[in-house]
Amino acid sequence: MSYDPAAILEGVPTGLFIGGQWRAAAGGATFAVTDPATGMEVAAVADAAPDDGMAALSAAAGAQAAWAATSPRERAELLRTAFEATIAQRERLATIMALEMGKPVAEAAGEVTYAAEFLRWFAEEASRVSGRFQQAPEGTLRILVSKRAVGPCLFITPWNFPLAMATRKIAPALAAGCTVVLKPAEATPLTSLAFAQILAEAGLPDGVVNVIPTSDAQPVTGPIIQDRRLRKLSFTGSTAVGKALLGEASQNVLRTSMELGGCAPFLVFEDADLDVALQAARAAKLRNIGEACTAANSFYVHESLAEEFAERLAAEFAALTVGPGLEPASEIGPIISEQQRERIVDLVHGATDDGARVLTGGEPIAGPGYFYPPTVLAEVAPGSEIMREEVFGPVAPVTTFREEDEVIALANASEMGLAGYVITRDLERVLRLTERLEVGMLGVNVGVLSNAAAPFGGVKHSGLGREGGAEGIEEFLETVYTALPA
Ligand code: ADP
ipTM of model = 0.98
Beta carbon of 156 within 6 Å of any ligand 1 atom: yes
Are 255 and 274 in the same domain? no
Best CA proximity match to 424, nearest among 439, 443, 441:
443
Beta carbon of 237 within 6 Å of any ligand 1 atom: yes
Cα–Cα dist 157/304, whole Å:
42
Distance set, CA 439 to CA 206, 255, 257, 269, 418 (Å): 40, 22, 17, 18, 5
Q: Tell the residue nearest (CA) to atom 23 of ligand 1.
A: 218
Domain containing 272 equals 264-415+419-451
- CB-neighbour burial class of residue 27 (10 A; exposed 0-12, middle 13-18, buried 19+): exposed
Q: Angle between the 217-226 and 239-250 helix axes, to the nearest 10 degrees? A: 30
Are 128 and 277 in the same domain? no
Are 247 and 274 in the same domain? no
Are 274 and 156 in the same domain? no
How many angstroms does the Cα of residue 24 sit away from the middle of ligand 1?
22
Is 371 inside a domain boundary? yes
- The pTM (predicted TM-score) of the whole model is 0.98
Beta carbon of 188 within 6 Å of any ligand 1 atom: no
- pLDDT on residue 382: 83
Q: How many domains is the chain built from?
A: 2
Are 245 and 100 in the same domain? yes
Best CA proximity match to 254, nearest among 238, 277, 235:
235
Q: Walk along the chain (486 residues) and give the pLDDT tens digit of each residue.
A: 689 999 999 999 999 999 999 999 999 999 999 999 999 999 999 999 999 999 999 999 999 999 999 999 999 999 999 999 999 999 999 999 999 999 999 999 999 999 999 999 999 999 999 999 999 999 999 999 999 999 999 999 999 999 999 999 999 999 999 999 999 999 999 999 999 999 999 999 999 999 999 999 999 999 999 999 999 999 999 999 999 999 999 999 999 999 999 999 999 999 999 999 999 999 999 999 999 999 999 999 999 999 999 999 999 999 999 999 999 999 999 999 999 999 999 999 999 999 999 999 999 999 999 999 999 999 999 889 999 999 999 999 999 999 999 999 999 999 999 999 999 999 999 999 999 999 999 999 999 999 999 999 999 999 999 999 999 999 999 999 999 999
Are 31 and 159 in the same domain? yes
Are 225 and 321 in the same domain? no
Beta carbon of 241 within 6 Å of any ligand 1 atom: yes
Catalytic residue at 293? Answer: yes
204: CB partners within 8 A, 6+ apart: 78, 82, 174
- pLDDT on residue 475: 98
On whether the CB atoms of residues 87 and 212 are closer than 8 A, the answer is: no
C-alpha torsion angle, residues 344, 160, 158, 416 (rounded to 10): -60
Catalytic residue at 259? Answer: yes
Beta carbon of 462 within 6 Å of any ligand 1 atom: no
Are 345 and 469 in the same domain? no
- pLDDT on residue 11: 97
Helix (H) or strand (E) holding 474: helix 471-474
Q: Could you report the per-residue pLDDT of 345-354, keeping only the tens digit for each?
A: 999 999 999 9
Atom number of ligand 1 nearest to Cα 340: 2
Are 189 and 238 in the same domain? yes
Best CA proximity match to 400, nearest among 484, 301, 323, 329:
301
How many angstroms does the Cα of residue 75 sit away from the middle of ligand 1?
30
Residue 265: strand pairing partners: 298
Are 210 and 336 in the same domain? no
Best CA proximity match to 296, nearest among 414, 401, 180, 130:
414
Cα–Cα dist 339/282, whole Å:
25
How many angstroms does the Cα of residue 161 sit away from the middle of ligand 1?
14
- pLDDT on residue 2: 86
Cα–Cα dist 272/260, whole Å:
30
Which residue from 100, 156, 338 has its CB within 8 A of the most atoms of ligand 1, so it is best to mutate?
156
Q: What angle do CA 478, 201, 198 make, to 5 degrees?
A: 75
Which residue from 31, 165, 186, 241 has its CB within 8 A of the most atoms of ligand 1, so it is best to mutate?
241
Beta carbon of 221 within 6 Å of any ligand 1 atom: yes
- pLDDT on residue 383: 84
CATH number of residue 474's parent domain: 3.40.605.10
Distance set, CA 255 to CA 4, 172, 347, 459 (Å): 43, 15, 36, 17
Are 199 and 321 in the same domain? no
Are 445 and 471 in the same domain? no
| Catalytic, out of 291, 293, 404, 438 | 293
